[in-house]
Every structure is written in structure tokens, then in C-alpha cells.
């Protein structure tokens, strides 16, 4: 009741944005160097690679996202109580965690910026020194309705949270890459491409990507120089993720020659085309948390190309409940077309009937 004495009502144009800005006032401290990563797939891998590179180079670093919070600095014992299950935490927890990291002496942080988080203004006015776009494909259409709206939300990271004059890092080989470049050009935002389609000397052009079940040999060009390294991480899309992280770290003022020495040490992120068998085993088992048609397609294509000609590819997968149901038959079709055998099971049905989710997937299996 606003008529009560002493009560005060403040009208704001956007309540979500106002809450995020209020959180910034409550928790004003942030690490000095922040990078953000958006994209349908690859966010967790890239922020982890950024953190691993910085950690190996001796910088005080942390990451925030699907993996929770990881840091090489000692954190308060009670912070875990505030850990969010969201990729991008709500605005109050988000700012509280940034201040906690700053208080702990963290100078560098990489975080995941989800489309939901961007659309709901959870970042507030946080300014980042660099930002990356890892991939773009169908997901969350139950929320965004169309691919155009989904892309528009992702691009807000660059127009609203990237510092003026800062450099963005874009996967030049991803679908809709030309649309992203057009947006950045229109907004006069500097950017570098990563991938085989990169052309400018400011880009990281992939010139070699030799795959095996044990890892890959990667070569790329940057600023007129050629670089190469080997990694135990499998998957050509992971070559792009590693180099996106490399450019993000370079954008923080760290020399490329120093970064290159670290890249062979980087470890795969849990559940991202992760080999869980030993190299000498008779068969190989990989775990991948693919939750979109594009991610499942890329993972299965990679493994099909790596297996022996006489080998068989089996896939066990399911789809989560209370999430975009339109992608389920698409994922079923992809699995049936590529794998020799498909086993459809449950994957976190939440409030939905698991049998219905499995039936939806089966609808695409022909």
C-alpha cells in the first residue's frame, strides 16, 4: 500500500535492468580484467581454456559458468552456498561473485554469457575487455521463438557490455558468421576471426588440423607469423575453441609466444568429447554433453572420421525435459544417420514424462 506513511515507490522502465544496476551498486568491485564468452556450444570449454592458460602463466585467475566457479586463489568457504545452477547467475549472485573474486585477489576472470542471461539483463553494466562468439545453432527456441531473436539476444553482449575500442573474437567458420560480422561492422566494433575462413592478418587462420583418437596437431597463422602445437584434446571444433581462448588471452595484453608454450598443457573440460578409456584399450569411449543438434552432429562426425574403417560407432543419448522439444526429433535423425547403433535413454527429464521425451526423439529416427 503506497499510501502508508514513509513508503516510497520508484518507477523504472525495465525492472530486470534496474535490479542488475542495483546489484552493481551493492557489489561494486570486479576483477580488473574480464572476458565474456557467448555461443550455443563451446562456452564452457573456452572459459576453461582461458583460465588454464592464465593459471599456467602465473596470473591470478578464475572462471564462472556451467562449471560453477573455479579459481587458483583461495575463496571463502561459504561461497559454494551461493552457487547457481544457471550458466549465467542471477544479477545479484553474479555481482556478488565478481566482488568475492576481486576480494580474493583475482585479477582475471572469464565467464559464460548465456542467451537467457543476456535477455534478462543479468550482466547489468559489467564492462568486459574482450568477448567471444563460439558457435550458433538451434537451441532454446522454446524461449526465443525464432533463430533471429536468439541471435539478436546473443549480440547484445557486444553492443552493451564490450568496452569501447575493445576487440571481439568470432568463430569465422560458424553458421551465421556473416550476420555477426555485419552487426559488428554496423556498430563499429573491432573483431578478429578464428578458423579456416579467416583472412585478415589480425585473424587466427587455421592452416592445419590433423586429428587422431589421441589428440590433434594444430597449425595457424597470426600477424604474419606461423605457429603450431599439439594437444590431447580431440575434435576440430575444439581446435577453434582453443584458438578463440588464445585470442581472448592475447587481447588482455599477453604475448602470443608465451601463450603458445602453454597450449599443449591444456586439458579437456569434463564431458566435452572427453575420452575416458586408455590409449591402448581395444575400444574407445568418449563422453560428450551434446545438448543441441549441431553439437551432436559435430561430435559424431568427428568420431566417425577417427574410428578405424572396420570399427563401429555406437551412441547413447537422451534429451533434457522442459527444454526446446523441437530439437528432439532432429537429434534422433542425426544419431540414426551417422551411428551404427543408437541407444535412446533418459537425460534429466525434470518435470516431463521421460517416455514422451524418448518418443519425441524416436520421431526423427527413420
- Give 171-203 pLDDT, tens digit per residue: 999 989 999 999 999 999 999 999 999 989 999
What is the spatial distance between Cα 120 and Cα 203, in angstroms, rounded to a whole number? Answer: 32
Give residue 54's pLDDT: 98
Give residue 364's pLDDT: 95
Give residue 8's pLDDT: 79
Contacts of residues 52-59 at CB distance under 8 Å and 24 or more positions apart, as own/partner, are 52/262, 52/265, 52/266, 52/267, 53/245, 53/246, 53/249, 53/259, 53/262, 53/263, 53/266, 54/108, 54/249, 56/262, 56/265, 57/254, 57/258, 57/259, 57/262, 59/107, 59/108
Give residue 142's pLDDT: 75
Q: Which residues pair with 286 in a beta bridge?
A: 275
Average pLDDT over residues 44-59: 98
Give residue 4's pLDDT: 56
The model's confidence at residue 165, banded by pLDDT at 50, 70 and 90, is very high
Give residue 9's pLDDT: 81
Question: What value does the mean pLDDT of the chain take?
Answer: 92
Give residue 67's pLDDT: 83
What is the spatial distance between Cα 100 and Cα 93, in angstroms, rounded to a whole number? Answer: 10
3-class SS of residue 247: helix
Number of helical (H) and strand (E) elements in the chain, helices listed first: 12, 14
Give residue 139's pLDDT: 75
Residue 65 near residue 111, CB atoms below 8 Å: yes
Give residue 84's pLDDT: 56
User: What's the distance, Cα to Cα, between the start and end of the chain in Å?
Assistant: 60
Phi and psi torsions of 210, nearest 5°: -95, 120
Give residue 141's pLDDT: 65
DSSP 8-state class, residue 133: E
Average pLDDT over residues 16-31: 94
- Is 305 a residue whose pLDDT tops 80? yes
Give residue 89's pLDDT: 84
Average pLDDT over residues 290-295: 89
- Residues 251-287: pLDDT tens digits? 999 999 999 999 999 999 998 889 999 988 999 999 9
C-alpha distances out from residue 297 to 87, 138, 305, 319, Å: 23, 12, 12, 14
Residue 87 near residue 117, CB atoms below 8 Å: yes
- Residues 54-113: pLDDT tens digits? 999 999 999 999 888 999 999 998 765 445 556 788 899 999 999 999 999 999 999 999
What is the spatial distance between Cα 137 and Cα 366, in angstroms, rounded to a whole number? Answer: 23
Give residue 147's pLDDT: 84
Amino acid at each position: 500500500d503506497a499510501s502508508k506513511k514513509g513508503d516510497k515507490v520508484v518507477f523504472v522502465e525495465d525492472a530486470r535492468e534496474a535490479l542488475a544496476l542495483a546489484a552493481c551498486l551493492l557489489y561494486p568491485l570486479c576483477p580488473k580484467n574480464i572476458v565474456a564468452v557467448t555461443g550455443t556450444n563451446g562456452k564452457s570449454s573456452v572459459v576453461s581454456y582461458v583460465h588454464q592458460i592464465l593459471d599456467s602463466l602465473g596470473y591470478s585467475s578464475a572462471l564462472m559458468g556451467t562449471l560453477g566457479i573455479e579459481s587458483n586463489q583461495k575463496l571463502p568457504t561459504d561461497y559454494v552456498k551461493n552457487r547457481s545452477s544457471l550458466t549465467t547467475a542471477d544479477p545479484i549472485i553474479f555481482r556478488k561473485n565478481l566482488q568475492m573474486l576481486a576480494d580474493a585477489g583475482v585479477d582475471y576472470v572469464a565467464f559464460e554469457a548465456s542467451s537467457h542471461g543476456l535477455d534478462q539483463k543479468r550482466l547489468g553494466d559489467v564492462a568486459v575487455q574482450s568477448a567471444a562468439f563460439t558457435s550458433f545453432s538451434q537451441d532454446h527456441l522454446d524461449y526465443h521463438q525464432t533463430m533471429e531473436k536468439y541471435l539478436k539476444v546473443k549480440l547484445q553482449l557486444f553492443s552493451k557490455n564490450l568496452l569501447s575500442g575493445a576487440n571481439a573474437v568470432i568463430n569465422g567458420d560458424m553458421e551465421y558468421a556473416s550476420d555477426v560480422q555485419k552487426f559488428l561492422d554496423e556498430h563499429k566494433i573491432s573483431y578478429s576471426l578464428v578458423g579456416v575462413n579467416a583472412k585478415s592478418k589480425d585473424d587466427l587462420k587455421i592452416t592445419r588440423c590433423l586429428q587422431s583418437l589421441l589428440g590433434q596437431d594444430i597449425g595457424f597463422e597470426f600477424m604474419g607469423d606461423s605457429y603450431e602445437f599439439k594437444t590431447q584434446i580431440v575434435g576440430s571444433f575444439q581446435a577453434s575453441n582453443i584458438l578463440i581462448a588464445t585470442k581472448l588471452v592475447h587481447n588482455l595484453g599477453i604475448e602470443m609466444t608465451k601463450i603458445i608454450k602453454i597450449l599443449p598443457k591444456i586439458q579437456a573440460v569434463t564431458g566435452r568429447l572427453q575420452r575416458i578409456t586408455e590409449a591402448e584399450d581395444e575400444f574407445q569411449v568418449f563422453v560428450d554433453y551434446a545438448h543441441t543438434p549441431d553439437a551432436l552432429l559435430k561430435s559424431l562426425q568427428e568420431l566417425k572420421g577417427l574410428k578405424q574403417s572396420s570399427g563401429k560407432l555406437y551412441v547413447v543419448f537422451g534429451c533434457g525435459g522442459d527444454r526446446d522439444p523441437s530439437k528432439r526429433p532432429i537429434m534422433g535423425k542425426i544419431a540414426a544417420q551417422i551411428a551404427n547403433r543408437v541407444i535412446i535413454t533418459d537425460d534429466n527429464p525434470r518435470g516431463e514424462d521421460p517416455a514422451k521425451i524418448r518418443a519425441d526423439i524416436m520421431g526423427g529416427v527413420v
